[in-house]
Amino acid sequence: MTRTVYVNGEYLPETEATVSIFDRGFLMADAVYEVTSVLGGKLIDFEGHAVRLKRSLDELDMAEPCTKEELLEIHRKLVELNEIDEGLIYLQVTRGSDGDRDFVFPSEDTKPTTVLFTQNKPGLADSPAAKKGAKIISIEDIRWGRRDIKTVQLLYPSMGKMMAKKAGADDAWMIEDGYVTEGTSNNAYFVKDGVIVTRPLSNDILHGITRKAVLRMAAEAQLKIEERLFTIEEAKEADEAFTTSASAFVMPVVEIDGIALGDGSPGPIAKRLREIYLDESRKAAI
């Protein structure tokens, strides 16, 4: 089945979809994105992703390409056309192209480029990786200072994943000024003596949509949460650890820099939060 994608108002086979070589998303990484998961053919936390998209666009003085209702319609239509039961919808909005390359932003009437495509991932929720848990390494965080804006500048996170892979691990947590910021594509947590610790929101990390939902559900389940800076040493001495993201939900972490956490298998709080998150999200999906 050929994938149908969305480009600037049109639904096209992926082989026929094009954007300009002058597009600022391509030339300057002048673009923002969102990834929304699909479970049972329905969208998980669409509202959260739509709100964060608007915030990213506002922070970069980019116009909204369409209304939230239109965006929902496009997401739903792509799910339907591509018969997605479990998977992801990737959305990217760029500042567009005025037909040349220039550091200066193009004129205000330049149309943004909007691209959406689906990724079919049967078994996304029942992932073997989550049952095993992830091994992570720590690396320096050398990204720019506005990580709260979800831009497509993903070269360093991509290099971080490669560093992890080379070291025989699954992912990397990044460290700045002695404290863990976040994972290459997820927010980072550890649990010690029943308390969940995670870095507070600021411009230093992405304000994860899954983070918000999981912290709310953890509080509802009477779990203790501390939002504070933490070191990788603290995390290595934790009882358990985990990450959150829209594409991997709650992912247990079983090893940090070669040191096993607890008994080296996914911890009870991470497993419980994954279950609660998947349950609640399925119920609220639209």
185 binds ligand PMP (CB under 6 A): yes
Q: Which is nearer to ligand PMP, 138 or 186 (CB)?
A: 186
Q: What's the closest the beta carbon of residue 13 comes to ligand PMP, in angstroms? A: 27
Taking the CA of residue 210 as centre, how many other CA atoms within 13 Å lie in the half-sphere pointing to its CB? Answer: 25
187 binds ligand PMP (CB under 6 A): yes
Q: What's the closest the beta carbon of residue 245 comes to ligand PMP, in angstroms? A: 4
CA–CA gap between residue 246 and residue 250 (Å, rounded): 9
Q: Which is nearer to ligand PMP, 149 or 254 (CB)?
A: 149
Q: Which of residues 193-212 bind ligand PMP (CB under 6 A)?
A: 206, 208-211
**Given the residues 54, 111, 132, 150, the one annotated as active site:** 150
246 binds ligand PMP (CB under 6 A): yes
150 has catalytic annotation: yes
Query: For 214-241, b where at least 16 C-beta lie within 10 A, e where not — what string?
Result: bbebbeeeebeeeeebbebeebbebbbb
Which residue in 94, 138, 244, 281 binds ligand PMP (CB under 6 A)? 244
Q: What's the closest the beta carbon of residue 123 comes to ligand PMP, in angstroms? A: 19
Q: Which is nearer to ligand PMP, 4 or 25 (CB)?
A: 25
245 binds ligand PMP (CB under 6 A): yes
CA–CA gap between residue 206 and residue 86 (Å, rounded): 24
Q: E-strand spans in the chain?
A: 4-7, 10-13, 31-39, 42-43, 87-94, 113-120, 134-140, 171-176, 179-183, 187-192, 195-198, 224-227, 240-245, 249-256, 259-260
Where are the alpha helices (H) located in 60-137, listed in sequence order? 68-81, 128-132
Q: Which residues are catalytic?
A: 150
* Residues contributing to the site for ligand PMP (CB under 6 A): 35, 182, 185-187, 206, 208-211, 244-246
